[in-house]
Structure 1
Amino acid sequence: MLPWRMFDYTYIDSDSKLDSQLEFWHSHDIISIAMDFEGEFNLHIYGEHLCLVQVFDGAAYFLIDPLNISEQALRRFLEDPAIEKVMFDCASDASLVRKQYGIILKNVHDVRLSAKLVGYEGNLTGLVERCLQIPAATGKKGNQTANWLTRPIKPNLIEYALSDVEHLFAIREVLAKEILAAGLQTKDVELQASAAVQKGPDRPGYEKLNGFRYLSNEQKVYLKWFFDARDMLARKLNQPAYRILDKRVLVDMAKKVPAGQAEFRSVVRHRDKRVEDDLVALLMVALEGATKELQR
């Protein structure tokens, strides 16, 4: 099987085009669409950014370009309760638009939740194989780390993006039959009602680092301050934080706190001397801040 194939699609890159398409769906009683996002997650620039929304309405495919569409137009679309959005594992997508825009996805049906009810725990590719007996395409894995901010979008990335919504309706239908046979309809309805609802407060980034839970309370304070220092410089330079300093070094510094500039410099060596100088200066400020917090 080829790693990608050609789709016919409509490219939506303005508020007026998106509003017109939304009105078309309303006026033609199209009440359900398959939807997925592509984003930038601190791989190529600083921060998390919605880069692409791909849609299949059962008859036609669409690429919605959020880089050229206002927050207001995206909100009208994504928060529209009259349009059901069929997705796979919507949690990270819902989190992305909530953090970036304050948008709350409305009327979401997450086929991953249904799949878990009937015992499936894998990814979308495996679910397509399980439900539809369609073998996995090759060459898709590398696209997961592609730069989705780049325009124009490369043809192979377009095909990759659209393939993620191609089978969602069919998967939903298969799973619905399995859930009915298992008598799990009520449970599925309950799960879908909160599919895109935030399950708890967003954890700060430093708490997600490997090894955080094994640190002492004092070490956690140092990690918090060092993490924020790195984040501040990454934001200023619009670079992914990992290019400033590896996250493992942050944890190591929290365990064995450098005593001053010389020790910081020996730990955080950077190929760009200016970046290293700025980082060491910020870490010295962080060291002072953590020390004062611990003395309270």
Structure 2
Amino acid sequence: MSPRREPTMVDPVEFTSYYGRPILKEPAWKQPDVPLYLFLGGAAGSSATMASLATLTGRPGLARVGRLVAAAGASASVVALIHDLGRPERFLHMLRVLKPTSPLSVGSWILAPFSGLAAVSAGSAETGLLRPVGKLAGAAAGVLGPAMCTYTAVLLADTATPSWHEARRHLPVLFAGSAVTSGAGAALLAAPSAELGPVVRAGLVGAVAELAVARHLEHGLGIVSEPYRTGRAGKLMKAARGLTAAGAALSLAARRSKVAAVASGAAYLAAGLCTRFGVYQAGVASAQDPKYVVVPQRERLAQARGD
């Protein structure tokens, strides 16, 4: 005989706050400025590293594309950031002090020198002026490239925004994979077909990492995974998965077909945009609903008590 179910004596919990306002302020950064800043910086970082490796392995066409994308992406990333800040001097003010414990401070000191190095490298290669300086600048930009790909993920995760903070171990991997596919996408669009072998392989590695981590974000973070798979963010993340998979599949024919290369590159770049906008929107949604703050807090308290 099964035990009799006790009647529920209280209504289902509704997570509300004073005056119906969210517990957390939603991110105040502007859209599309900040999501574009996240995307452009990642694409620039992976392209700079790709350019350095292409130079070392004797692929001049691929190296040129990488240098140009790195310089253009970094410059556009700075413009997007300054537009979000409102006044150019605010960006300069962030460079007055280097604070290792502040992701924002460290990020500023990654973005500023990287942008300059990428511009010098591309300018020297295109004009033929100061070639030794340009080569050194390109090598230095290539070394900073991985940091450019991932530091923005740390910036998001270092906030109290639930769907970002709870994903702090995974966002850097997602952004790294997405940056690699974005850099590969730009190369697939413009680099010579004969030099695309390493690009295709890098894109496949980035796609696997991006797809695996995106699935974990959508299902492996408990209740704070909900914003990644619902609403506007869910649609963007779903589109990113489809575009990444399509880009990876098309890239397998990229060396034989220019049409496949262009389609693959466009899919990878569109996927990168969708990923950054999706992650950003998921953070906004998680800050708007009190349950994404309250439920994880109660779960942590229950674990601490050994419940």
TM-score of the pair, normalised by structure 1: 0.28
Q: Which has the higher contact order (CA 8 A, sep 6+)?
A: 2
Q: Give the structure with the higher percent strand.
A: 1
Q: Give the structure with the higher percent helix.
A: 2
